[in-house]
Amino acid sequence: MIERLESFIKKELSEFLRENILLGEGIFLSITRVLVDDSLERAQVFVSVFPEKFSEEIFKELKLLHRVARKFLASRIKRHKTPQVQFLLDKNLDAESRIEKLLQEK
């Protein structure tokens, strides 16, 4: 059940971000994964930004939108309680891209 909820949140928030965040040309934003805790009260939404140099700017916008994102989810989820949404930078992808760059330099 949690996996289905995580998948649903990922899909719905992807649509929400596409509609609510203006990205400059050549900037890409994607939700890489969603983790919902066992109590179903919190959802950690891992986001990657490419190129990385725009991560800080994008995350300022995401912090401003987290309450609106929860309201958006509440309108889509047929559950009594909607999880709190927390956007986090997916550091796994950042580490992978750094390793890939280092390998290409050699």
Q: Which residue has the tokens 């919190």?
A: 42
Contacts of 32 (CB under 8 A, 6+ apart): 46, 47, 48, 90, 92, 93
Question: Residue 79: what pLDDT?
Answer: 76
Beta-carbon neighbour count of residue 36 at 10 Å? 20
pTM of the model: 0.80
Mean pLDDT across 78-92: 85
Q: Which domains does the chain have, with CATH numbers?
A: 2-105 (3.30.300.20)
- Identify which of 25-34, 73-82, 97-106 has the greatest average pLDDT: 25-34
- 37-77, pLDDT tens digit by residue? 998 899 999 998 888 888 888 889 999 998 999 999 999 98
Question: Residue 22: what pLDDT?
Answer: 85
Q: Which residue has the tokens 């390998």?
A: 103
- 13-23, pLDDT tens digit by residue? 999 999 998 88
Contacts of 48 (CB under 8 A, 6+ apart): 29, 30, 32, 89, 90, 93, 94
Question: Residue 98: what pLDDT?
Answer: 64
